[in-house]
Structure formats: C-alpha cells, structure tokens
Amino acid sequence: MTRGIGWFDAFREVAPEWAVVILGLVTQLGDVWFLGVLVGTSYWLETDNRDRIAAVFGVLLAGLSLITALKHVFALPRPERTLVAAEALPEAVHPLYEATATATGYGFPSGHALLTTIVYLSLAEYGSVGTRRNRYIGAAGIVTVVCFSRVGLGVHYLVDVVAGVGIGLVFLLLVWRLLDRYPARRGTLGFGLAVALAAVAFVTTDAASDAVLLVGASVGAFAGWQFAALAREVDAGRGPIRGSRALTARAAAVAAGIVSLVALSGYYWPVSSLAGSGVLGLVVAAFVTLPVLYRSERGSGI
C-alpha cells in the first residue's frame, strides 16, 4: 500500500535545484546531533531550571527509543525518489548533499517529525527562555518547517511526518501528565522512562546496534541524574546516606548503573556494540553529573 499522496511530484516540478541545499540545512534542526546539542546545552546553562530540562533530556532519550522500536515494528521503506539527483548539483556541494539531504533505514513514522515534536514542545513547556506563548509559537514553526523539509527532500511521504507528529503529541500528553503529577521527581521520571523504552526497543529490534547504544545512554543518564540528586541532597545537609532510605536508594541506583556500564565496556571491549554502549553510558553519566557537582560544595566529596 502506497503512502504517497502526490504532493511531492508537484513540488519537484517547481522547486529549483538549490532548494535541496536549503531543505537539507533546515532538516538539521530535527537531526539527533542538533537536538542533543540543544538539550545538552540547555541542561548545562539553565542552572535554575535544571530539573525541568533534565526531564526534557529524558524525554529525548525516550523518544529516540520509541522511534527506533516503531520503525522496526512497521518496517516500511522510504520513498524511492529524490528532489534533485546528485549529478545535477555542483561537485563542491556533493558532501553537503550527502550529509544533509539523504537518509537510510525505515521510513515510517518519521523520526524527525516525532523527535522535533517531542523536544521543541517540551522545551516550550518546561524551558525558561522568553514567554511561554512565544516558545510555543517558535516550537510549532520549527516542527512545521522540519516536516516540510523531510517531505520536500523526498526521504519521507507526507503520511510519515503526519504520523510522526501525531504519535509525538500523544506521547507528550501522557508523559507530561506523569511529570506534572510528580514535579519534584521530573528528572528521575524522565530518565526512568528513557530506560524503560530503551529496554522495549532492545527487545523489539532484536538487539539492533542503535537500540543497544540507547540502553547504555539511558542507563548512564539515569545513574548520572541519581548521583547529581544525591550530591545536591548531601549538600543540603540531608545526610548521612546510610541514615536515609531515599538517599540509600539513590546510591544503590548509581552503583548498579555505573557497575553495569563498566562491566559492559570492560568485558566486551573492543569488539561489540555492547562495549560501545557501556562507554557511551559512562560518558552520558558524567555529562549529566558534572554541572551539578560543579555547583555543589560538599556533594563532590561523595
């Protein structure tokens, strides 16, 4: 069954060749690397709003696992079409074309559409830059142009991006309800959800390499956040750790996560994606923990 609606052919008739470069650059707003830099930078810089941005960080990881699982479940191909053949472009822009305007793997639903919906709307909801209304207007605009770029480049059908946005909205409504019910635990819930969905993706994809890496990243993020929270609580004078069940539970979660990641990276290195998963998890754990420890007077002595 085709997912095409005929829009792409009409657009290709009127689009100039240089449009592929513009669309390729626009689509980077929804690439994983850009979303990771955006959320990671916000996490480090928004010191007074870090708990909320930690939840967004967790939602990003959860969204990556969700789209990984869904693509393997549906296993539908991408369109066999391009907006412009590479041969029609100057040779100087071929590397840029390959890096920004092409895609591989399964096509339904659109990962860019789903992830931009999840990340930009979450930043609009929990961010602190500008007004809430302006954040939502900006988020809606970015989601729209990214979705347009995916269809315009010919790497997705219109149905793919509509489904991606729809699934992202449903996902957010469910997750936000949970996060807002327990506002003091947003970070823990966000990263915990990431671990749960990473496990689902691991099983659904039969341990595909992307799913394996997401398991490590999610476990590392969860352990790193527990360590950061533990440091803040000790810094606030809520210790000693052994005298509090909550602090003991956090310390146990940190130990279990870090030990498992070290074991993965050490035992399987350097031949398996499992080793890469362990190393990635340790890097993510450090990334999540360091900005909190930097501001902690006593927590860094844990």
Residue 234 near residue 298 (C-beta atoms within 8 A)? yes
Q: Which of left, alpha, beta for 222 (phi over 0: left; psi -120 to 50: alpha)?
A: alpha
61 with 21, same domain: the answer is yes
Structural domain that includes position 288: 207-302
Structural domain contains residue 153: yes
37 with 111, same domain: the answer is yes
9 with 118, same domain: the answer is yes
93 with 241, same domain: the answer is no
147 with 271, same domain: the answer is no
The total domain count for the chain is 2
pLDDT tens-digit readout, 19-78? 777 888 899 999 999 999 999 999 998 878 889 999 999 999 999 999 999 999 998 888
Query: Which among 113, 104, 78 has a CA at the least distance from the CA of 2?
Result: 78
Residue 157 near residue 151 (C-beta atoms within 8 A)? yes
7-30 mean pLDDT: 72
| Alpha-carbon span 276 to 48, nearest angstrom | 33
Structural domain contains residue 191: no
Supply the DSSP symbol for 78: P
Among candidate residues 133, 152, 185, the one where a domain is terminated: 185
CB atoms within 10 A of CB 51: 20
Compute the CA torsion angle 255, 265, 33, 74 (nearest 10 deg).
Answer: -100
pTM of the model: 0.87
80 with 166, same domain: the answer is yes
The residues, any chain, with a CB within 8 Å of residue 104's CB and separated by 6 or more, are: 78
pLDDT tens-digit readout, 157-187? 889 999 999 999 999 999 999 999 998 889 9
Structural domain contains residue 192: no
Residue type at 196? Answer: A
Residue listed under structure tokens 């990641």 = 261
Structural domain contains residue 290: yes
| Residue 272 or residue 271, greater confidence | 272
| Alpha-carbon span 133 to 247, nearest angstrom | 38
Among candidate residues 185, 220, 246, the one where a domain is terminated: 185
Structural domain contains residue 202: no
The residues, any chain, with a CB within 8 Å of residue 77's CB and separated by 6 or more, are: 106, 107
